[in-house]
Chains A and B, each alone.
Chain A
């Protein structure tokens, strides 16, 4: 604690503008830390589902067929309605 106080510039002698800037910076850093922690929490939760994902994350013929059906639809739409 004392070391931290020693390395930090004295707040009493810092100008108001500087103090406001420091506060703004701190808020930004805290927000970034919060966002990073939230992202890591989401990643941890995602990894909890790994048992299911390991089994389910594989190519499925029905999904591939569905994708190519969508592609054909897209191509037909771009070509315009049949005359």
Chain B
């Protein structure tokens, strides 16, 4: 009897462990499948854009040649979808379909601003406690201030001299010239994605070219949105332990480790909104100070650029270089922002001071907090367009 119990006990413990292992394996396989669908979806958007616009993509997006309009498109699209990864992936697909890189650059910058709305909205949940709200709102808006400052500095420089576009072009060119040597005429990604992309193409083949193209864009965007959403959900459960370890090891290690850990955690969960929103309640409770959160927030900007780079691998053919170029613009923009704002002492603490001030006044007058949210994400882009168009 005793022996039986002894034999049964390890078996009882082994079964849940085995089930958990199987569950994890299933989650990882689902993740691989979702990444595959994301890559296919970016390719579908590119195909749809090509089909819908023919060779007239440039003419179609003439309205966005005004960089402020492009910026606004990026801000509003990201604020509505609440995912910069989705918007930048769609932009990569559109560039592959013929959208000029120069038109797409302000859109990518706008996506960077638009993504900050999520953690700002999260901070509004702390409104019932004045001190908690002051800390939480400051922790959220430090991201707004940093990304706004980055655009204020880098957009005019980009409009005048195109340094980001040039640097990204050079890096993408170097990458593809090497790739040509090793993978001559072997389009691995194209072959892997063709079952899905060809099926999507066949589905709309009976429609006229423009309608078919629009249908492909809608299918592609929906697929990107859903796959990124579920990738994020899965990664949250799969990577939470590792993300916690990274953050624990960053405590007390200074700003550089903070930036690196922010980037790493964001790469793991594939969402800057998740990482920056996570910091809001931590700052609200007072456990983390604004200065401790600041480097982590900056790092999340760098980590989120990986999705667009992954999406760029989906594109093959003549426009592959341009798709990689716009994905690299996103990365280089965020790296330059960290180097310029973080490197110049008089700029370094501006976002922190701005956020602290805004946190204080918003805690006193909630209408000002509402004014900030509505002003930055709706009124400011509208005003910029009005000023430049009229």
Contacts and interface: CB of A to CB of B under 8 A. Distances in A.
Contact of A50 (B122, B244, B366, B367): B244
Contact of A68 (B252, B277, B370): B370
For chain B, which range describes its interface: under 10, 10 to 19, 20 to 34, or 35 or more residues?
20 to 34
State the main secondary structure of chain B at its contact with A.
helix
B278 A53 contact: yes
Interface residues on A, range: 20 to 34
B96 to A, nearest CB: 31
A78 B287 CA distance: 34
A33 to B, nearest CB: 12
Interface string B238-259: 0010011001100110000000
B278 A71 contact: no
A71 B368 CA distance: 9
B277 A47 contact: no
Contacts of B281: 53, 56-57
A54 B82 CA distance: 16
A57 B280 CA distance: 8
A47 B121 contact: no
B118 interface: yes
A2 to B, nearest CB: 31
B149 interface: no
Interface of B: 82, 118, 121-122, 124-125, 127, 236, 240, 243-244, 247-248, 251-252, 269, 274, 277-278, 280-282, 285, 287-288, 365-367, 369-370
Interface of A: 36, 39-40, 42-48, 50-51, 53-60, 63-64, 66-68, 70-71, 74-75
